[in-house]
Amino acid sequence: MMKRSAALAVVLLGLGSAAHALEFQPLGSGSVGVGGAGVARNFGAMAPYWNPAGLAFAPRAVTVSLTGEVGIEPHGKLAEDLDNLNKTYNTWNGNQTSIPAGNTLAGAFNDLVATTAKDNLRVTAGAALGAQVKHVGFGAYGTFEGGALPNAGGSTIPVPINAQLTQPVVDAALASKTVTVRGIGLLEVPVSYGHAFDLGAAGKVGVGASVKYLHGWATAETNRAIFDTVSKSVVSSSDLTKDLRKNLHDSSAVGFDLGLLWKPTGSTSLGLVGKNLNSPSFSTKTGEEIPVGRQVRAGVSWEPLSWLELTADVDVFSNSTIVSGLNSQTLGGGAEFHPFSCLKLRAGGYTNLAASANGALTAGFSLGAPLFFFDLDAAYGLGTVRYDKDTYPSEAKVQFSMNLAF
């Protein structure tokens, strides 16, 4: 059996090495609180999403989980520069004879022209209702990923300006700068099964698989001018996030996941999962295909004490994201303390190995009784950015879940 498991691992790694995918989003089971880790620690209702092999070790006959999350990642200065330009244009437009206001406007716009693909905006969201009955799992697991990044180019405004700078000249310059907006929502409806094999002194290994109905809502890459010539206004960062909900086109596909979970001891788990191994894709209104390709993630979980769990995950390969040119390869982990049956406390962090990012700290807690408990988790970026005229951490995410076990 060990040879078969090793062969399956080779297959997962081989399939993943040539693939691109959307970001692997943490969803449910307190995963955000421990740095986004979940491949080696989910054995119940969320196992079909994280690693179907976890179903082989389901500790309860039936579990049900309801979860939701939302996150935002304003990288660089795109969001900040847009909101600053929005404010300064409104000030200049109210008094176009003011040269100081015009210089401020020109400086704000020229800053935006200088932005690159490293200055981008991403939003994520997720919701799931999962269930596990013995070694079978099913449910509906939904994620959304949207992004915006500035396109190269744009006509700068000379500084210092003079009184002859007219609104048509300014408006023409502003209209020359564009931003690409793109997004996709994905609903997974899997039927999953996990089976454990006894390896004797080497412990036990679980093998799991999922067959999934996938339904996607995709928005094609859209070049959006930062200046609206009809309303005579500059778009704000919040306007871009609203654009992600527009022009959605839905289509369906089928996906396949495979997973391994090795438990050499009762307190240690090592997991490996390959998601969307057949690389399904979804079409937009323009005919563009957005791939939701293969993802391979490894994880470990260890309980050195009865009240302490240490866990970590890493994306084996870099995944592309909805923002062109921005990749994601998450390394994250943390600890969960459970001194009482009614209380769990979590802390951790994660970073993106594929990009220069500040990373984030995470924390969370669970409250409840053995049959019902509530999770609340959050991530807080270590850097700061401006979005919608306010200051925020470079990344922010919040997630809740309600869980039943019988």
> 80-132 pLDDT, tens per residue?
888 888 888 877 776 665 666 667 888 888 888 888 877 888 889 999 999 99
Look up residue 334 and give its amino acid.
G
Query: Which pLDDT score is estimated for 21?
Result: 52
pLDDT tens sequence across 160-209: 766 666 777 778 888 888 898 888 889 999 999 999 999 999 999 999 99
- pLDDT over 60 at 11, yes or no: no
Q: What average pLDDT does range 65-72 have in this prediction?
A: 94
pLDDT tens sequence across 216-259: 887 767 788 888 888 888 888 888 777 766 667 888 999 999 99
Mean pLDDT of the chain: 86
Q: How far, in Å, are 73, 78, 95, 121, 385 from residue 394 at the CA level?
A: 6, 12, 34, 10, 5
> Taking the model in full, what pTM does it have?
0.88
- pLDDT over 90 at 68, yes or no: yes
Handedness of CA 123, 129, 133, 136 (dihedral sign): negative
Measured between alpha carbons, how far is 221 from 183 in angstroms, rounded to an integer? 8
- The distance from CA 36 to its chain's CA centroid, rounded to whole angstroms, is 10
Total number of domains in the chain: 1
Q: What average pLDDT does range 304-330 have in this prediction?
A: 89
Contact of 301 with 54, CB cutoff 8 Å:
no
Contact of 383 with 360, CB cutoff 8 Å:
no
Measured between alpha carbons, how far is 375 from 368 in angstroms, rounded to an integer? 9
CATH number at 93 reads 2.40.160.40
Domain that holds residue 20: 2-405
- Stronger pLDDT, 405 or 390, i.e. the higher one: 405
